[in-house]
Structures are given as structure tokens and as C-alpha cells.
């Protein structure tokens, strides 16, 4: 049993893993911010476009959401990191992970926001337009605030999933928690660094998972 919690190995592993926590959090927060912003932007465009010439844009946005829902994030990451250079696009591991996680979350977020927007009663649009608000103002002041309430629990859950998916970045040599633990494990031939990393993930994500569960029951989303 001692081999799993070898204090010497743990002490040696800690500085690397601690610096990995910073990378994990940095990657998580930037991709979550970018993904949510992308999803909100696309859903807004989809809600505001009208008229024949722009119709296909809505279809394109829906297709984007479908494709990135069907695509495993790791496959996307590997393509971005290992295939993009052949097109002259050299992404660092961090950038590739940021783009992959942002695109995947962006697709979910678009779908979540869109579902929220379409669930707002038509009468709300009509009331707002009947008072002379522009479509943009009606969307921003009347429809979106109501839609956002519905999106909070599912969006929280998707954001947590994105945070956990930062572990995928270890595959493209981003020195986040899992990557640090794996390289120290390779040097020490001990499972202790991995267990330490596992403990770090639990400490980071268990509270968030509990909050996500609480939000789901509180908002009664089904």
C-alpha cells in the first residue's frame, strides 16, 4: 500500500502538480469563457436573422452544433494539433486545446441558449415589438433575460464538463495536472503522483459537481 502514498515521491511530485493546477485552471477558464461567448453569439445571430437572404445562416449554425456534438473532443484536439500544421497552422498545445474545448462548448452552449430562447413565449416578443422596441432591444431586454434563467443549470454542467476535459490537453503536451503527474510517474515508476493528481481533480471538481446537481433540482429542468 505504501507505494501508493510514498511520501518522498509525493513531496517530489507536488511542485510540478501545483504548477499544473495553474495551467488546468487557466485552460478551463479561458475555454469556458470563449465557448459560452461563442454559443451566445451564435444563438443571438440565429434569433435575430430574418428574411430570405440570411435564412441559410441559421441552418449553418444548427449544422455546426450538430457536427461538434457528434465529434469526440479528443479527435478534434488531435486533428487541430497534428493535422493543422500541414496547412501551415502551427498551434501550441495550449492553443489547440483552447480552440477544441471552446468549439465543443460553443456548440453545446449555442444549443442551450437556442433552446432557452425558443422556449420564451411568442407573446413576449409581440408585447415588446408592440411597444416599439426594435428586435435587438426586444431580444436583449425581454427575451434573453428570460432565456438565460433556463440555461443556467445545463450551461453550468457543460462548463464543468469542459473543465474536466482540460485533462485531454495532456495528450498534446500541455503541462496541466494530468500531464505533470504522468511525466513524474514515468520518472519515479510509482503510482503516487497519479493518485495525487486524482486528489487534486476531486478537490477541484467535486464541489462543482455538487453545485451542478443542486442547480438542476432547484431549477427543475427537465
Q: Which residues in the 42-71 window bind another protein by CB under 8 A? A: 65-67, 69-71
C-alpha span between 19 and 128 (Å, rounded): 51
Return left, alpha or beta for 51; rule: phi > 0 is left, psi -120 to 50 is alpha, else beta: left
Stretch that binds another protein, among 7-15, 40-48, 93-101, 188-196 (CB under 8 A): 188-196
Cell numbers placing 95: 492553443
Q: Which of 21, 161, 188, 219 binds another protein (CB under 8 A)?
A: 161
171 binds another protein (CB under 8 A): yes
Q: Please tell me the distance from the alpha carbon of residue 182 to that of residue 175, in angstroms, as a whole number.
A: 10
**Which of 11, 67 has the CB closer to another protein?**
67
Q: Is 132 in the site for another protein (CB under 8 A)?
A: yes
Rounded least distance, CB 122 to another protein, Å: 9
Which of 14, 26, 49, 205 is the binder for another protein (CB under 8 A)?
205
Which three cell numbers, joined as nine digits, stand for 69?
456534438
Contact between 7 and another protein by CB under 8 A: the answer reads no
Contact 179, 20 (CB under 8 A): yes
Q: Who contacts 191 (Cβ-Cβ below 8 Å, separation ≥6)?
A: 3, 4, 185
The single residue among 134, 173, 187, 218 that binds another protein, judged by CB under 8 A, is 134
- Residue number with CB closer to another protein (34 or 43): 43
Instruction: Tell me how far apart the 2 most distant CA atoms of the chain are, in Å.
Output: 73
Query: Residue 33 CB, nearest distance to another protein (Å)?
Result: 17
**Residues in 78-107 at the binding interface with another protein, rule: CB under 8 A:** 78-79, 82-83, 86-87
Kindly tell me which of 37 and 216 has the beta carbon lying closer to another protein.
216
Query: Grid coordinates standing for 4?
Result: 501508493
Q: Is 118 helix (H, G, I), strand (E, B) or coil?
A: helix
Amino acid at each position: 500500500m505504501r507505494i501508493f502514498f510514498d511520501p518522498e515521491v509525493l513531496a517530489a511530485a507536488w511542485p510540478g502538480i501545483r504548477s499544473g493546477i495553474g495551467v488546468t485552471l487557466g485552460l478551463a477558464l479561458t475555454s469556458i469563457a470563449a465557448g459560452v461567448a461563442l454559443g451566445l453569439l451564435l444563438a443571438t445571430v440565429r434569433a435575430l436573422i430574418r428574411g430570405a437572404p440570411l435564412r441559410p445562416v441559421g441552418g449553418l449554425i444548427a449544422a455546426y452544433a450538430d457536427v461538434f456534438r457528434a465529434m469526440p473532443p479528443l479527435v478534434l484536439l488531435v486533428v487541430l494539433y497534428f493535422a493543422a500544421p500541414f496547412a501551415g497552422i502551427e498551434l501550441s498545445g495550449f492553443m489547440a486545446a483552447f480552440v477544441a474545448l471552446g468549439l465543443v462548448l460553443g456548440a453545446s452552449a449555442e444549443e442551450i441558449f437556442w433552446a432557452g430562447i425558443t422556449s420564451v413565449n411568442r407573446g413576449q416578443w409581440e408585447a415588446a415589438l408592440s411597444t416599439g422596441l426594435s428586435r435587438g432591444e426586444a431580444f436583449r431586454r425581454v427575451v434573453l433575460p428570460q432565456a438565460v434563467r433556463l440555461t443556467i443549470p445545463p450551461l453550468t454542467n457543460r462548463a464543468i464538463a469542459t473543465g474536466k476535459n482540460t485533462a485531454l490537453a495532456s495528450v498534446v503536451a500541455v503541462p496541466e495536472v494530468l500531464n505533470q503527474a504522468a511525466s513524474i510517474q514515468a520518472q519515479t515508476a510509482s503510482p503516487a503522483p497519479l493518485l495525487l493528481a486524482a486528489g487534486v481533480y476531486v478537490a477541484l471538481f467535486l464541489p462543482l459537481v455538487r453545485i451542478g446537481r443542486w442547480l438542476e433540482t432547484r431549477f427543475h429542468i427537465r
